[in-house]
Amino acid sequence: MLETRNLSSGYGAITVLWGVNLTFREGALTAIVGPNGAGKTTLLRTLTGLLPYTGDILMGGKPLKGKTWDLAAQGLVMVPEGRLVFRDMSVEENLCLGAYPERCRADLAANLERMYAFFPRLKERRHQLAGSLSGGEAQMVAMGRGLMAKPRILLIDEPSLGLAPVIVNEVFDIIRKLKADGTTIVLIEQNTRIALQVADDLHLMRSGKVILSEKAAGIDLNRLHDLYFAREG
Ligand code: ATP
């Protein structure tokens, strides 16, 4: 469904990604893990049209073209970390912002109800200011806003960041439900244990390269940690 071939990118003269080859299968949950500075966020920024690159990004076999907003209209939707909600707007106003692609606006009410089915807590709090939410609830708003754009692929950046373990479990229960509903998900995550539990496919990145690509079911957590924490050189 989404594929990168020999993808390199970075910031001006600084190359961060070095010839990355990745395949994200339709309907699967693909996790990308890696230590700080591995290039996970740079990969997301590149996939969502925020950074220039060399190599190819293909969606459905065709080169992906356009800026971030065009890509969302085509179904490639990014969920940033939960702290990036609009604090002075209500929960529902935040959620409706996700429905800006033309194809999502016609049936806004039905779209909202479909999304609230995943996030009943957000329905209860729909008139509350987003700035007054807990970290876990704000993460749910970020994910709900992504769902409102009717994604073909949902790219979720570090959903466990800064959340207490019990809340992380709650957020991942919802991610499991989204997957069961057939959503194709790309998950960037530092928490290797939970990534391994939830993923179908897993890629480990280090220093801007992919050093392991396997089905999650075949990966042993200790082996993953050995590769994750191995010293450079
Ligand atoms: P983390 O989990 O810490 O966010 P990451 O795997 O997402 O790590 P990136 O944020 O993609 O890693 O960073 C990869 C490299 O790119 C790092 O060496 C970082 O210093 C560099 N980098 C990130 N943003 C910029 C920028 N705006 N300008 C220059 N270099 C940058």
ipTM of this predicted structure: 0.94
Tell how strand 2-11 and strand 53-59 pair up: antiparallel
Going from the Cα of 207 to the center of ligand 1, the distance in angstroms, rounded, reads 10
Distance CA 111, CA 118 (A): 12
Going from the Cα of 36 to the center of ligand 1, the distance in angstroms, rounded, reads 8
141-169 pLDDT tens trace = 999 999 998 899 999 999 998 888 988 99
Pocket test for ligand 1, best of 33, 36, 155 (most atoms within 8 A of CB): 36
Query: Sign of torsion, CA 163 167 168 172?
Result: negative
> For position 127, what pLDDT does the model report?
96
Distance CA 220, CA 93 (A): 43
* pTM of the complete model: 0.91
The answer to whether residues 192 and 161 touch, using CB atoms and an 8 Å cutoff, is no
22-77 pLDDT tens trace = 999 999 999 999 998 999 999 999 998 889 999 999 998 888 877 766 787 788 99
